Amino acid sequence: MKFILGIIVVMASVIGGYILSHGKLSALFQPFELLIIGGGAFGAFIIANPGKVIAKVFKGTFGLFVPSKYNKKMYMDLLTLMYLLFSKARKEGLMSLESDIEEPHLSDIFKTYPSIRDNHHVMDFITDYLRLMVGGNMNAFELENLMDVELDTHHHEAEQPANAMQVVADGLPAFGIVAAVMGVVITMGYISEPPEILGAHIGAALVGTFLGVLLAYGFAAPIANALKSKAEDESKFLQCAKVCIMSTLNGYTPQIAVEFGRKAIATDIRPGFMELEEHVKKAGKK
């Protein structure tokens, strides 16, 4: 909704201001200028990026139409899931988690939280490191270092679509200049025509610069920033899971471990101490 609202505000402000200034919309309708700018930018985008990044850009852009799934409820689900897993390990031993992490889709604990179970990135992260804990072959320092390496890799991959879109945004004004220059070249062929014809061609050429700047700073750059924010949401979620796991590995009780994880959540969606305590205790009694 916010994404759609932003598009409406940009278009209404730019086009509305132009109309209120007694501008004619027909003068802005220059499909060939748009073809030069849009086609050139899209072609450069294809040249610059591998297929998987191109697919992620389109998928991520369509995903901007819906709010981030990493909201307060999902964090509460994560912390409660961590609490239940750690409580089971504390009562029955780490080996009791083996069936849960080997077949999480059959686990009663994981099935209770489908938002976590169905997120393969999060599930792989949690089960992989719990598996290493159950194996008992790595100390806390080694495990944390491995987590950091994986999180850095994940963050780099997650930001590729945003970086690719930012390059497009940086290039669009230049393609606008290309379209404007080509328009001027065409205008030179009409230099002997009356002023009204010559003026129309000059105006069409200037629309190229206008479109390049508008598409860059009104759409492409904001989309790139929004894609970056989406990537950061998932990275922060994995960071919260990491903090919980490391706290348990360092000997803290399940309640304290999830409290460490709570502190890793952004303040605008972070549950309160008592709110989380009541929530996990209620889940533990089921």
Q: How do residues 40-62 score in pLDDT, each as one tens digit?
A: 999 999 999 999 999 999 999 99
What pLDDT does 286 receive? 63
Domain ranges of the chain: 30-286
> What local confidence, expressed as pLDDT, does residue 76 receive?
94
- pLDDT value of position 194: 86
Averages of pLDDT over each 10 residues, the chain, 286 residues: 88 90 84 92 95 94 90 93 91 87 87 89 91 79 90 92 96 94 87 83 88 95 95 93 92 91 93 88 73
Residue 139 vs residues 133, 243, 249, 250: alpha-carbon distances, Å: 9, 15, 9, 9
d(CA 210, CA 173): 8
pLDDT value at residue 23: 83
Give the pLDDT of residue 98: 87
What is the pLDDT, as a whole number, of residue 285?
67
Handedness of CA 38, 41, 44, 49 (dihedral sign): negative
Question: What 3-state DSSP class applies to 265?
Answer: coil
Share of the chain above pLDDT 70, in %: 98
Contact 174, 208 (CB under 8 A): no
* Nearest CA among 179, 241, 165 for reference residue 210: 179
Q: Rounded to an integer, what distance in angstroms lies between the CA atom of residue 202 and that of residue 192? A: 13
**What pTM, to 2 d.p., does this model score?**
0.86
Per-residue model confidence (pLDDT) at position 134: 83
Q: Which of 285, 283, 286, 259 minimizes the C-alpha distance to 272? A: 259
| 179-191 exposure pattern, b = at least 16 Cβ within 10 A, e = fewer | bbeebeeebeeee
Closest CA to 73 of 108, 113, 109, 110: 113
pLDDT of residue 150: 93
Residue 276 makes CB contacts below 8 A (sequence gap 6+) with 76, 79, 258, 259, 262
Query: Which residue type is seen at 109?
Result: I
Per the listing, tokens 């930012």 go with: 166
CA distances for 192 relative to 148, 185, 199, angstroms: 68, 14, 12
What confidence tens digit (pLDDT) does each residue in 197-237 have?
888 888 888 999 999 999 999 999 999 999 999 999 999 99
> CA angle, 224 as apex, 221 and 227 as ends, to 5°?
150
The amino acid that residue 199 corresponds to is: G
The Cα–Cα gap between 249 and 238 comes to: 16
